[in-house]
Every structure is written in structure tokens, then in C-alpha cells.
């Protein structure tokens, strides 16, 4: 009898286990449906009879199934949901569960193109509210999404995880992401199908988003992405700190969770205070990567960076010419050659400051932002004045967030540096990060920036950040608030950047961060451009700039001509012309031929920069997959275009096929700044219709490795 009873119980348990393991999630009846829409993207949301908010998965084909529990739009931890949640909190009474139900929807037209949507959710058991916020840009198929969270509980609520976005995708989903390192940023794109399980892209660098990974990625639905006819969704998190982008394939679809990295980032939120997440940017296209990028670029020029409709001037940096070894006379000696060759802006880089601990190398001086009296006895103003006399603007390098232990600042305030107690200081580039959560540091850094940028005739600044956090401890924050350092630092940094942009509206600002460490729209909205990488070898800049162009317009990509890689000067200049042209050269040491090439490139860049920087980009030949890279730009009115061909390996010459031209318009073909001793292109000076050029192609003048050709098409 005992044996039969045991067998019966066992069989019942097995049957129950089989039922649970094979059962589909039960569908939820729908009581209300609404949508967040752009021109060609629809995110369909449904309120179930249980009060929860669900999403129909976005897919390459039709989707219309009833929602199930796994399809919750912004899932919460602790109340029945078993996959990765978008929200995880501990309430003031210690309860680790949250259950959000739909409360209200409001939509308003901010402009003819922008619709603002706010969806309020609340927890019936607590005075705890979450608002899902969206700005949709109709014509560009761009969705900006962020979360606002507040409560009125009796005590602080601990935010363990608050994602900026949680989006459901159906069908086969492919992910393209970008791995890199210092001097290798955005050089290793990886495309892979998201298989069952979880794929995580993340950063734990604290004070900048990227170095090893980038907070921008591409999702393609139904197959791998291509330039012209794939269904793609680009994502970019506007955040300059530690991030996490997670793609969870749980068998029913793929959920993309993006936001601040929850690693060691718990936030104690008092009652009445609103917590706002970073903005997540989504850009949709059913016509491939090219269309997606052009939409992203149009949005960025309008909303993502400063002065996005003003072409950038030609810059000359002294770093490659002098390094740390210069004085007033040496710098002024660089001005006349710079003006003669056609540059418009001179940037004085690192090494101009520090007295007790002079900045003669990178071991000392950071934090002591007074001009070095031996090098610059009268300060920066005379240097800037001498540049302006010669018709050059003047810019300056600064790194206000950092300090060297060998500095007067560190002598006076060692507790101002981010560090862990009882541990030996760990330096990167011989420096530490100042603790921006401390009000005194915020005041100090603002005074530094204000004093530097208030010097007469300084109209450009390069803001650097040459290390990330490895000992994330704040002597200022209480022991219970140490995890807030990661988030509070970035928010304080944005406040400082915002203050700088508003106080100095006519000062052009470049983001630099040990190379491309701050290639994100969180910081870029306060700046005009960013430094993609310290690696300026043009053979590597071609694929690097190709990958950055998925997300950023080329006017935001600083591209300088240097001797890195010892490539031919003509090739280096052509690569720089395709982005924001700059130079890092000692012009006095160039040969006559190289000077002529540089002068010709600068002149050509000035002719076409309105097309390349304000026009539409078409990527033609992927440098990762071919012996050359090719792309073209078309002016908004389609009256002008520029074709670039960059030969990376020897290979038979062949036409490059431009796109985006007006098929009925006639264009005259002209090669800009042709390389010395190279044959004239066969179409030089001839006129063709746009249809003929797109069908027959443009024959560049390059066929050997490290040769380039830039061809202008004019009405």
C-alpha cells in the first residue's frame, strides 16, 4: 500500500512537471490598445484586464497575437516575472517586489514632427509611480525613451535596477556590436544571431561609457543587416558612465534592456525626489543601414550635438609637433605656417600649466591650472592674441576632472580624489579622478573651466578624460551611499558640461577621453565633436569612421592628418577630408610636395565641407570586407555630391557607384586635389546625368594600397 501511494505521488509530480515545462504562457485578455508611432514604426501597447501594460513584439512581419505574462512592456522583479526585469527596487518596508498597473496616458504635439507621450504606472500597494516617457520624431523614425520614478513611501526606496528602455522584438533577431580598446575603438564589428540565453554588452568604467565596448548597437530583424533593404533598429544609450545593454532571448522573443549598469549602482531615493534615467535612442528603418544612418544623422544635427548646421573649421594641433616641449616662442612660430597652409584654428594641447610641479610630462601638474611662468610668462592671453593677429582662432586643452598626486591640488586636498581606503593608490597615466560628487570639487572644476575659457580670444577647447575608475570609492559619500558614486558622478559631470555650454555659447568644444571613451550622446549634446581614437593611422581610420558613421554624422568625428603609420600624405589627407578635418603635424618639417598636398586638401575640404557635414551619407563599399572603402555624400538639394575611394590593398581599379543623386540632373565630374604624378580620371570634366553615374559609376584614380581619390560632382 505504501509503495502504491508513493508511486501515485511520483507520477502526479512528473505529470505536473511536464505540464509546466511545456505549457505556453496563458494569453491575457486586452481591455485597451494604443500605440507609439513614427512614420514607419509602430510600438503597439496593450492594457490587459489584469491592469498590466503589455507590448506586441516588433518584428519584420505581421504580429498580432494576444499578450502573455512574458510580454509585459516594463517588467518588474519580485512578483511572478521570472526573466530579467526592467525594474528592481526594495521598498521602504523591505518588500523586494513591485507590481505596476496602468494609470494614464497623455500625448501632446511638441512640434509638427515631435510627439511627447507619457504613460503613468503605479503600484496599488505603495505610493510608488513610474512614468514611461517618449519623444517620437515622426519623419526621422527616431524614438527617445526614458523613465521617471518617484514615490511617497515612509522612508527611502532603494533602486537596484532601473532600465531606460525595455523593448520586445519578435522573430529572428541579429545583433551588431562593436568591440575595441585604446587605439582600436570601433574597429571590430561583430554580427551574431541572438540565440536562447542572454547576451550582455556592458561597461564598468564609471566616468566614461566606452573603451572596450560601445553603448551603440544595431538590431536587425529577420536576417543580418545590410545597407539597403534590411529591417533594422539602431540603439544608442545617451550615458557617459557605466552602462548595460542586455538582450534576453527567452524563447518567445528577444527583450532588449538598456540603461545604467546595475552593477554596484544602487540608489537610495528619498520620498518626493524624482529619479530620471538616461535617454535611450532608437532609430528604425525598413530600408537598411544606410537609411537608418541618414535618419540618425538628421536627428543628431538638430538635437544631438551643438551647432549641428554649422560646418566645422580646419584645426591644427601642436601635439605631434612639440609634445610637452614648448614655450611661447615655439608655439607662435607655428602660427604663420598654419595660416599659410590654410588652417583656421590652432589648438594648444597638454603642457601649458603647473609651476611648483610643472607639466613637463604626464607625471605632474594636473589640478594646477595656472599657466607655467617659465614657458608662458604672461599667460595664455598673448598666445591667443598672436593667433588672432594672423587670422587664426585659438583653442586650449584641459582635463578638469583629473589630478596628479604630484600637484599642489593633491597636496592640499588628497581627500578630493576618488580612491578606496586602505588601498595603495592605483594610477592610470599617473593620475586620479577628482570626486565630482563633492560640492567643493564641483565648485573648483567650474572655476577652472571658467578661468580658462574666459581668457580673451579662446574660442575652442578640447576637454579630455584620460582614465577611468578602478578604485571607485568616495571619501565624501557616506558608507551607505558608496554605490551612488557611479550615477552621481555622471549627473554632476553633465551639470558641469551644461553650465559650460551655456556660459560659453560661442566656444567650440571637443570631447576627448583617452581616445573614443566618450562617444555617446549623453555628453555630445553639450559639445560639437568628439575624438574617435588616439590612433590616427588613416588605414585604420577608414573602417573606424565607417563604423562610427552608423550612429554619428561625420561633422562630429574629429579626423586629423598625422604621421601615425607613415602613410602617404595624400591618403591621410583624403581620409581626414571625409570627416572633420584637422592636422597634427610640424608643418615646418614637411617636404614641399607634402605641403602642397596638405594645402590642396584643406582648400578642397573648404569647398565640400557643407556637403560632407550637412548632406546625406551613402556607404558604398565596406572596408572591412573589401580591398577598399568607398562612400559618397549628397547635398540636401541633391545639386552636389562628393565620392571618396580609399584603397587599403592592391586591387584592380573599378568604378564606385554613387547613390542618392537626382537621376535627371546633370553633374560635372572633377577630382579634387589629385595625387601628384597620377593619371587623370577618365571622366574628368565630363558631364553625366545622375542616373548614368549611379548606373555606370565613377572611376577613381586609385588602384594601389594607400591611394585615395576624392571626386566632386557638381550641377
**Counting beta carbons within 10 angstroms of the beta carbon of residue 303, is it exposed (0 to 12), middle (13 to 18) or buried (19 or more)?**
middle
Integer-rounded Cα radius of gyration of the chain: 28
Query: Grid coordinates representing 702?
Result: 586609385
The C-alpha cell at 92 is 521602504
* CA 669 from centroid of its chain's CA atoms: 35
Q: Reduce the DSSP state of residue 443 to 3 states and report it.
A: helix
Collapsed DSSP state (helix, strand, coil) of residue 640: strand
| Of 141, 464, 547, 584, catalytic | 464
* Grid coordinates belonging to 327: 614655450
What does the CA dihedral 293, 299, 302, 308 come to, rounded to 10 degrees? Answer: -20
The b-or-e profile of 629-642 (16+ CB within 10 A means b, else e) is bbbbbbbeebebbb
Quote the CA–CA distance of 636 and 298 in Å, as a whole number: 11
Long-range Cβ pairs for the range 114-122 (8 Å, 24+):
114/138, 115/37, 117/36, 119/45, 119/53, 121/53, 121/74
Tell me which DSSP letter residue 481 carries. G
Q: What is the grid cell recorded at 67?
A: 499578450
What is the DSSP annotation of 281-293? EEEEESSHHHHHH
Identify the three-state secondary structure at position 269: strand
CA pair distance 498, 386, nearest whole angstrom: 30
- Nine cell digits for residue 527: 559639445
- CA 438 – CA 388 distance, rounded (Å): 38
160 to each of 90, 114, 145, how far by Cα in Å?
A: 7, 32, 20
SS3 517: coil
Phi, psi at residue 457, to the nearest 5°? Answer: 75, 5
Q: What is the Cα–Cα distance from 606 to 559, expressed in whole angstroms?
A: 15
Contact 387, 335 (CB under 8 A): yes
Looking at residue 416, the DSSP 8-state letter turns out to be G
**From 534, 610, 622, 662, active-site residue:** 534
The number of C-alpha atoms within 13 Å of 601 and in the hemisphere containing its C-beta is: 30
| Cβ 399 vs Cβ 453: under 8 Å | no
In angstroms, the CA 80 to CA 97 distance is 9
Q: Tell me the C-alpha to C-alpha distance, in Å, between residue 598 and each of 294, 337, 391, 571, 631.
A: 30, 12, 19, 10, 21
57: its cell numbers: 513584439
SS3 category, 483: helix
Any bridge partners for residue 48, and if so which? 30
Residue 464 is among the residues annotated as catalytic for this protein: yes
- What would the DSSP string read from start to end of 662-678? -TTSEEEEEESSPPTTP
DSSP of 595-624: HHHHHHHHHHHHHHHHHHHHSEEEEEE-TT
Would you name the residues annotated as active-site residues? Answer: 464, 534
Amino acid at each position: 500500500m505504501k509503495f502504491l501511494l508513493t508511486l501515485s505521488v511520483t507520477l502526479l509530480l512528473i505529470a505536473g512537471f511536464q505540464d509546466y515545462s511545456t505549457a505556453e504562457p496563458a494569453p491575457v485578455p486586452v481591455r485597451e490598445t494604443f500605440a507609439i508611432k513614427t512614420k514607419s514604426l509602430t510600438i503597439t501597447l496593450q492594457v490587459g484586464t489584469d491592469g498590466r501594460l503589455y507590448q506586441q513584439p516588433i518584428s519584420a512581419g505581421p504580429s498580432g497575437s494576444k499578450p502573455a505574462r512574458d510580454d509585459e512592456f516594463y517588467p518588474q522583479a519580485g512578483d511572478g516575472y521570472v526573466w530579467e526585469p526592467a525594474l528592481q527596487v526594495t521598498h521602504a518596508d523591505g518588500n523586494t517586489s513591485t507590481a505596476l498597473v496602468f494609470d494614464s496616458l497623455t500625448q501632446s504635439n511638441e512640434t509638427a514632427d515631435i510627439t511627447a507621450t507619457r504613460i503613468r504606472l503605479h503600484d496599488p500597494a505603495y505610493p510608488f509611480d513610474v512614468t514611461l516617457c517618449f519623444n517620437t520624431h515622426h519623419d526621422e523614425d527616431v524614438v527617445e525613451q526614458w523613465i521617471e520614478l518617484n514615490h511617497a513611501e515612509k522612508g527611502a526606496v532603494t533602486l537596484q535596477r532601473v532600465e531606460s528602455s525595455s523593448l520586445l522584438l519578435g522573430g529572428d533577431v541579429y545583433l551588431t556590436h562593436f568591440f575595441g580598446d585604446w587605439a582600436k575603438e570601433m574597429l571590430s564589428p561583430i554580427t551574431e544571431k541572438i540565440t536562447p540565453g542572454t547576451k550582455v554588452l556592458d561597461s564598468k568604467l564609471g566616468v566614461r561609457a566606452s573603451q572596450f565596448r560601445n553603448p551603440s548597437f544595431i538590431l536587425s530583424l529577420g536576417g543580418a543587416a545590410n545597407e539597403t533593404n534590411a529591417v533594422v533598429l539602431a540603439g544608442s544609450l545617451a550615458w557617459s558612465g557605466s552602462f548595460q545593454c542586455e538582450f534576453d532571448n527567452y524563447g518567445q522573443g528577444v527583450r532588449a534592456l538598456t540603461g545604467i549598469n546595475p552593477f554596484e549602482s544602487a540608489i537610495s531615493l528619498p520620498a518626493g525626489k524624482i529619479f530620471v534615467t538616461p535617454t535611450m535612442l532608437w532609430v528604425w528603418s525598413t530600408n537598411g543601414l544606410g537609411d537608418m544612418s541618414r535618419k540618425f544623422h538628421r536627428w543628431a544635427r538638430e538635437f544631438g550635438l551643438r551647432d549641428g548646421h554649422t560646418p566645422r573649421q580646419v584645426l591644427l594641433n601642436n601635439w605631434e609637433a612639440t609634445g610637452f616641449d614648448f614655450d611661447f616662442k615655439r608655439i607662435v612660430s607655428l602660427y604663420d605656417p598654419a595660416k599659410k597652409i590654410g588652417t583656421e584654428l590652432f589648438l594648444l594641447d597638454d603642457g601649458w600649466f603647473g609651476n611648483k610641479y610643472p607639466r613637463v610630462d604626464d607625471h605632474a601638474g594636473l589640478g594646477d591650472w595656472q599657466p607655467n611662468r617659465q614657458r608662458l610668462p604672461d599667460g595664455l592671453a598673448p598666445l591667443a592674441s598672436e593667433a588672432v593677429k594672423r587670422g587664426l582662432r585659438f583653442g586650449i586643452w584641459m582635463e578638469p576632472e583629473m589630478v596628479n598626486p604630484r600637484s599642489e591640488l593633491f597636496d592640499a586636498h588628497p581627500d578630493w580624489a576618488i580612491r578606496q581606503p586602505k588601498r595603495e593608490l592605483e594610477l592610470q597615466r599617473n593620475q586620479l579622478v577628482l570626486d565630482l560628487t563633492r560640492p567643493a570639487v564641483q565648485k573648483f572644476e567650474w572655476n577652472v573651466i571658467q578661468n580658462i575659457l574666459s581668457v580673451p580670444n579662446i574660442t575652442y577647447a578640447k576637454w579630455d578624460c584620460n582614465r577611468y575608475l578602478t578604485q571607485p570609492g568616495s571619501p565624501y559619500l557616506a558608507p551607505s551611499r558608496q554605490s551612488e558614486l557611479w550615477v552621481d558622478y555622471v549627473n554632476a559631470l553633465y551639470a558641469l558640461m551644461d553650465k559650460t555650454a551655456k556660459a560659453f555659447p560661442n566656444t567650440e568644444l571637443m570631447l576627448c577621453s583617452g581616445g573614443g571613451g566618450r562617444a555617446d550622446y549623453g555628453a555630445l549634446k553639450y559639445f560639437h565633436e568628439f575624438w574617435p581614437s588616439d590612433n590616427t593611422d588613416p588605414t585604420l581610420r577608414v573602417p573606424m569612421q565607417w563604423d562610427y558613421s552608423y550612429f554619428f554624422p561625420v561633422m562630429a568625428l574629429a579626423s586629423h592628418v598625422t604621421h601615425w603609420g607613415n602613410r602617404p600624405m595624400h591618403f591621410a589627407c583624403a581620409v581626414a577630408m571625409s570627416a572633420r578635418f584637422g592636422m597634427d603635424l610640424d608643418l615646418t618639417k614637411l617636404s614641399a610636395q607634402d605641403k602642397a598636398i596638405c594645402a590642396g586638401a584643406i582648400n578642397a575640404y573648404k569647398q565640400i565641407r557643407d556637403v560632407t557635414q550637412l548632406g546625406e551619407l551613402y556607404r558604398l563599399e565596406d572596408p572591412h570586407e573589401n580591398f577598399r572603402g568607398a562612400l559618397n555624400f549628397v547635398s540636401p538639394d541633391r545639386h552636389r555630391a562628393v565620392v571618396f575611394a580609399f584603397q587599403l590593398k592592391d586591387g584592380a581599379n573599378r568604378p564606385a557607384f554613387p547613390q542618392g543623386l537626382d537621376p535627371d540632373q546633370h553633374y560635372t565630374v572633377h577630382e579634387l586635389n589629385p595625387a601628384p604624378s597620377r593619371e587623370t580620371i577618365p571622366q574628368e570634366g565630363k558631364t553625366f546625368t545622375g542616373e548614368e553615374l549611379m548606373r555606370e559609376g565613377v572611376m577613381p584614380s586609385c588602384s594601389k594600397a594607400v591611394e585615395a581619390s576624392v571626386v566632386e560632382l557638381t550641377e
